[in-house]
Amino acid sequence: MTLPVLQFVRRGQTVTLRNVPPERTLLEVLREDMGCTGTKEGCAEGDCGACTVVIGEAVATPAGETLRYSAINSCIRLAHSVNGLALWTVEDLARDPLIARDTPASIHPAQAAMVHCHGSQCGFCTPGFVMSLFGMYQNRVCQGQSITREQAQHDLSGNLCRCTGYRPILDAAQQMEQLPRAQVDEAAVLEQLQRLGAPAPAAAAYLAPRTLAELLAARAAHPQAQIVAGGTDVGLWVTKQLREFGQVLDVTRVAELRQIDDQGEHLSIGAAATLTQAFAALQALWPQLDEFAARFAGLPVRNAGTLGGNVANGSPIGDSMPLLIALRARIVLASQRGERRMPIEDFYTGYRQNQLAADEVLARIEVPKPRAGELLRVYKVSKRTDDDISAVCLAIQLTLQDGEVQAASIGVGGVAATPVRARATEAVLAGAAWNETSVTQAADTLRHEFQPLSDMRASGDYRRALLAHLLERYWLESQGPGSTLATLIPLAQAAAVQKAPV
């Protein structure tokens, strides 16, 4: 089977690589094929951030074409997925001729700030931190924004340090803007990107269709091909299970799957929209999701992973599915035979098993927009605050009116073989008075509705107790000073939300 040529822009030049296997990771290409050993391998699963690099992609905006910068984990990113993009590694920041500088300094402000603030000790994690700082610099400082402590913590959430401590690194993030300017010449990079990205041959080992029609044709013709989006789970199959793929079908270049559209009564999120993009759209409608979204993995994982990939993967501890179940989201499956819709909870048939046919792809997720009287909360319980897998994820949305529960929708993760809907608990709440008695009854039902396993994250008993206590917490939050009035959507605001652009 034909191996497509891999091309990307680096240091103002076009890098051309041949005979790259479809499952080879970007980190392997950088370190072993190109000798770029500044990028490190730590965990090989996207947790530590030592392998962080930054990619640049041409995107159309109302003001014209621009570059979108994303810090990603190269250890779990398939190399062919950066075909047609711009790439920066830690070695490039001082040597890229397309980074314009106010002074002829030899190092980038991200590097200089780390030196000035003593942000490195053993140095193994430093290249990854520097690259996340570079992404932050391009996305914030070069856009005229000052970096707050909170923003620095958010953008560095996917990078771990075990000896320096985070204070000097956060200091470095805030000091970058005070140093002599260094900014990517975007016009020059965009000009080079326009010369790249020729479609791969139809029989190639790595298929990357550009339209939905091309994707559906490829899926029908190659049902055995491994579908890949951001690679944040498939990448671990390569690094941890040493899997090899005869053929890969990359869905991330399909324009229709990357769109996020306001469809009036619902939000349509393309399956290939990144988690960063998808959560931004959801947070615009549900601002209370800010903390939950920030705790969904680290930023490099959110920049690469997709909402559709998280849903299709169907992990019982995936965090997006409980939320989408509570929001009554529906998924759209597409093939050359047409489309079919279903509630997300009906998609799963068993552990990592679903209703996707051999010729189908997950095309988009449709999320009903908020309505008057709805109260949404999502609780993620894990051993670490940032960059950790949930022991339990519980999403609750109730519609309350005149002290009564008009409707209930509850999604749960970490308690069964699949993400699940707590139907028995919903039945107890629906039509009941919203008071302590009904909450106690519902909490007892929720405690016994599932039989979770015990594992390294939590025991089954703990998970059951936690479900009951989280529902009680939801009740208390709805009764606290101002919490209900502040969180329930007023009628006037709900009407505005129904018409709000995305």
pLDDT at 333 over 60: yes
pLDDT the model gives residue 164: 87
pLDDT digits (tens, 9 = 90+) for 408-456: 999 999 999 999 999 999 999 999 999 999 999 999 999 999 999 999 9
In the three-class reduction of DSSP (H, G, I as helix; E, B as strand; rest coil), residue 350 is classed as: strand
Angle CA(195)–CA(198)–CA(199) in degrees, nearest 5? 160
Residue 197: which pLDDT band, with cuts at 50, 70 and 90?
A: low
* Helix extents (H) in 47-118: 109-116
pLDDT the model gives residue 487: 40
pLDDT the model gives residue 1: 79
pLDDT the model gives residue 152: 97
pLDDT digits (tens, 9 = 90+) for 297-307: 999 999 999 99
In the three-class reduction of DSSP (H, G, I as helix; E, B as strand; rest coil), residue 396 is classed as: strand
Residue 496: which pLDDT band, with cuts at 50, 70 and 90?
A: very low
Closest CA to 159 of 75, 33, 87, 37: 75
pLDDT at 493 over 90: no
Q: Which backbone phi and psi does 286 adopt, to 5 degrees?
A: -125, 80
Closest CA to 476 of 463, 461, 465, 487: 487
pLDDT digits (tens, 9 = 90+) for 83-96: 999 999 999 999 99
The arithmetic mean of pLDDT across residues 206-229, rounded, is 96
pLDDT the model gives residue 502: 38
pLDDT the model gives residue 202: 64
Percent of the chain residues past pLDDT 90, beyond the cut: 88
H/E run at residue 457: none
Which pTM does this prediction carry? 0.92
The arithmetic mean of pLDDT across residues 66-71, rounded, is 97
Q: How far is CA 312 from CA 234, 315, 332, 459, in A?
A: 12, 9, 11, 27
Residue with the bigger pLDDT between 499 and 421: it is: 421
The arithmetic mean of pLDDT across residues 258-270, rounded, is 97
To the nearest whole number, what is the mean pLDDT of the chain? 93
pLDDT digits (tens, 9 = 90+) for 384-393: 888 789 999 9
Residue 165: which pLDDT band, with cuts at 50, 70 and 90?
A: confident
The arithmetic mean of pLDDT across residues 291-299, rounded, is 94
Closest CA to 374 of 406, 412, 403: 406
pLDDT at 494 over 50: no
CA–CA separation, 54 and 34 (whole Å): 17
pLDDT digits (tens, 9 = 90+) for 457-473: 999 999 999 999 999 99
**Residue 54: both structure tokens together:** 């930054």
CA–CA separation, 153 and 166 (whole Å): 9
pLDDT at 175 over 80: yes
Which of 123-137, 189-203, 292-306 is predicted with the least confidence, judged by mean pLDDT? 189-203
CA–CA separation, 414 and 392 (whole Å): 5
pLDDT at 492 over 60: no
